[in-house]
Amino acid sequence: MNNQYTIPARQTTILLVGIAIGVVSLLLTYFGSGDNELHSRFWSNILHNSVFFTGISLMAVFFLSASITAWAGWYTVFKRVWEAFGQFLIVGFVLMLILGLGLYFDWHHIYHWADAESVEHDKILQGKSGFLNANMYVIFGGIIVAVWYFFARRMRSISLHEDDHGGDSNFSHHRKLRWYAAVFLPIAGFTSAAMIWLWVMSVDAHWYSTLYAWYAGASWFVSMIALTIMVISFMKSKGYFADVTDEHLHDLGKLLFAFSIFWTYLWFSQFMLIWYGNVGEETGYYLLRKNEYGVMFYGNVVINFIIPFFVLMRNDNKKKYGTLLFTAGVVFFGHWWDYFLMIKPGVIHTAHELLGGGHGHGADAHGAADHGAHGADHVAEAAHGAADHAIHGAGEAAHHASEFLMGYNLPGFLEIGTLIGFLSLFLLFFWRTLASAPLTPKQDPFLEESLHHHA
């Protein structure tokens, strides 16, 4: 059995070509004539893919930690995959730092709350400014991602050290791993929600949802499982991971099936509660996406729920390589599509607000809050202004969306090219990390259980 992965030169070349496609796509997006003067399409494509792949990396470390804490052993023969996924967090740190520096130096205008004049005339943005500001984005966000990477790096280091120095009767390495995993779980749980609010939800600066962090996190998690299935299937076809059996893939298929349903539950819960409540500052978010981004909105449910549900509902389909690989590919693209829909409508609306004199509109929408009474009356008028702003803002964005802008209403060739570039970067980093250690751990106390795993 080949337990040391070697990256073929051809594979490296293909991935470098993929990265080049991504770079060219970004350059064409920036210098092309189809974008606005703020280069919103270019920067939102970077935000979209940076957040998506950084989240996949985080979820790999999170699920690995959850499995270690739960004394699970079934995944041990391929745990190096999740350990290597987690090391991409250092790249995610750099990518998010670039976006953060863009706030300081006005390289981009993705976020409405980053525009000082808009905040000056907007009571709602002023109220959120303690969290939504450049310092929080760069310093707080940078510290959080650095902490994530520290745990990912440390846990992999202990795991690799166990290969040559483990096997003692006290299981000292595994005890240490359990400690780090248990500490990381609450840190990841709370901080991932904060980062989702800061990076993604704040694109629609006047809107919020208490379910949003769960929803976006579930999308990350399903994407991570889908990518795991695709990577392992590819490597098995090349003669690696011989100890990964149909039973392991069956379990991964069950996770893909179950968490696709969980994602749908969160999608429906968020939508249904907002629809039923019919509160102005909440409904604008969905009115825009449902009415003006219908293909994206309904396609999201088809790709991420209907296809995996009906394909993987049959138990034996979870063991069929072709079927499982196809479904994983569809779901992976589907959740990239999901993040596109989370980000793009808010970005183009912000661009139209800034380019079209949105400051005056903000002042009109919140005039009553600016000049109203203090105390309870002031809060009530501010809330009413928020509702008016959300509804009017959705209408304005819908008007512009109806013009159909490629790269905003639907992903274009440049968005697909950017996805190819980021995916190639992720896989190149992943495979180089994977090649630096044995594929199957040698001294893990759960190795025998994993080798004889039966679902």
One DSSP character per residue, 108-166 reads ----GGG-HHHHHT-HHHHHHTTTSSHHIIIIIHHHHHHHHHHHHHHHHHHHHHHHHH-
pLDDT of residue 54: 98
Domain count, the chain: 1
256 falls within a domain: yes
Q: Do residues 15 and 430 touch, judged by C-beta distance below 8 A? A: no
* Contacting residues for 106 by C-beta, under 8 A, at least 6 apart: none
Could you tell me if residue 4 is inside a domain?
no
- Cα angle for residues 20, 436, 13 (degrees, 5° grid): 25
Mean per-residue pLDDT over the chain, rounded: 89
d(CA 260, CA 306): 9
Residues 6+ apart with CB under 8 A from 414: 25, 26, 28, 29, 32, 41, 45, 407
In a domain? residue 97: yes
The domain of 413 spans 9-451
Asked whether residue 381 is assigned to any structural domain, the reply reads yes
HSE on the CB side for 102, CA within 13 Å?
Answer: 19
Tokens for 189? 């749980």
**Those residues with Cβ within 8 angstroms of residue 213's Cβ, 6 or more apart along the chain or in another chain:** 192, 193, 196, 197, 201
Range with the poorest average pLDDT among 39-53, 92-106, 306-320, 378-392: 378-392
* Average pLDDT estimate for 129-140: 96
Tell me the pLDDT tens digit for each residue of 115-127: 999 999 999 999 9
- Whether residue 382 has pLDDT greater than 70: no
Q: Which residue has the higher pLDDT, 324 or 386?
A: 324
Question: What pLDDT was estimated at residue 404?
Answer: 82
Calpha distance 85→27 (Å, rounded): 27
Q: What is the C-alpha radius of gyration for the chain, rounded to an integer number of angstroms?
A: 23
Which pLDDT tens digit goes with each residue over 245-258?
999 999 999 999 99
Instruction: Quote the CA–CA distance of 387 and 280 in Å, as a whole number.
Output: 5
Q: Name every residue whose Cβ is closer than 8 Å to that of residue 188 and which is 6 or more positions away in sequence.
A: 58, 61, 62, 65, 148, 151
pLDDT at position 373, please? 33
pLDDT of residue 1: 61
The pLDDT value given to residue 357: 53
Burial 37-51 (b: 16+ CB within 10 A, else e): ebbbbbbbbbbbbbb
Residue-level length of the chain: 455
pLDDT-derived band at 402 (thresholds 50, 70, 90) equals low
| Residue 31 burial (CB count, 10 A) | 10
Q: How confident is the model at residue 57 (pLDDT cuts 50, 70, 90)?
A: very high
Reported as a single tens digit per residue, the pLDDT across 289-315 is 999 999 999 999 999 999 999 999 999
Residue 406's SS3 state is strand
Answer whether 450's CB lies under 8 Å from 77's CB: yes
So what's the pLDDT on residue 383?
Answer: 43
Q: What pTM does this model have?
A: 0.90
pLDDT, average across residues 149-174: 91
Task: Please state, in angstroms and rounded to a whole number, the distance separating the CA atoms of residues 221 and 237.
Answer: 25
30 is a domain residue: yes
Q: Which residues contact 104 (CB under 8 A, 6 or more apart)?
A: 134, 138
Structure tokens at 121: 């005339």
Share of the chain above pLDDT 90, in %: 82
The answer to whether residue 1 is domain-embedded is no
pLDDT at position 394 is: 46
pLDDT in tens, 337-374: 999 999 999 999 999 999 985 443 333 333 333 333 33
Predicted confidence (pLDDT) at residue 388 exceeds the cutoff of 90: no
> Does the pLDDT value for residue 55 go beyond 60?
yes
- The residue with greater pLDDT, 384 or 34, is 34
Q: How many CB atoms lie within 10 A of CB 254?
A: 15
Confidence of residue 406 (pLDDT cuts 50, 70, 90): confident
Tokens linked to 30: 């920036």
**Euclidean distance between CA atoms 183 and 178, whole angstroms:** 9
**Position 364: which residue type?**
D
pLDDT above 70 coverage of the chain, percent? 89
Tokens of 35: 């974008």
Considering only residues 406 and 398, tell me which one the structure prediction assigns the higher pLDDT: 406
Supply the pLDDT for residue 405: 85
Q: Residue 167: its pLDDT value, please?
A: 75
Q: Is 279 exposed, middle or buried, given 0-12, 13-18 or 19+ CB atoms closer than 10 A?
A: middle
Examine residue 3 and state whether it is found in any structural domain, yes or no: no
pLDDT value at position 376? 36
